[in-house]
């Protein structure tokens, strides 16, 4: 059974920081492209950042220079460091595991990030 479990969300002030984690099980983690997506109320889910098993990371323009995605293959965990948070970063953040070669795509349950003073 595949499980992606996010943690680390919460309330932050504008300019503050949070660190999200996603622990994966039931997949060969090192072979998956891992990603973070977010969905704000009334909006479609959007890409935040992805990190392949090897190679360069990819970020949405809106978070470049503020967010950093990383992964620890030994711990089957992907992270998202959120710095200099803005109110428009408020959303539910979802972890994703993708293998295009197998056509598999898995999602976590999401973690709420709220940026407000």
| 4-28 per-position pLDDT tens digit | 999 999 999 999 999 999 999 999 9
pLDDT single digits (tens) 39-78:
999 999 999 999 998 868 999 999 999 999 999 999 999 9
Closest CA to 36 of 74, 13, 66: 66
**Cα–Cα distance for residue pair 41/33, rounded to 1 Å:** 26
Q: What are phi and psi of 87, to 5 degrees?
A: -55, -35
């Amino acid at each position: 059974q595949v499980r992606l479990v996010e943690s680390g969300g919460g309330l932050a002030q504008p300019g503050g920081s949070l660190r999200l984690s996603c622990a994966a099980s039931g997949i060969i983690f090192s072979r998956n492209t891992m990603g973070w997506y977010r969905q704000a109320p009334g909006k479609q889910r959007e890409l935040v950042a992805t990190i392949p098993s090897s190679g360069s990371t990819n970020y949405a323009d809106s978070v470049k220079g503020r967010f950093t995605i990383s992964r620890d293959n030994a711990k089957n965990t992907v992270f998202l460091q959120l710095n200099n948070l803005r109110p428009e970063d408020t959303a539910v953040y979802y972890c994703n595991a993708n293998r295009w070669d197998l056509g598999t795509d898995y999602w976590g349950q999401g973690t709420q990030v709220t940026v407000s003073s």
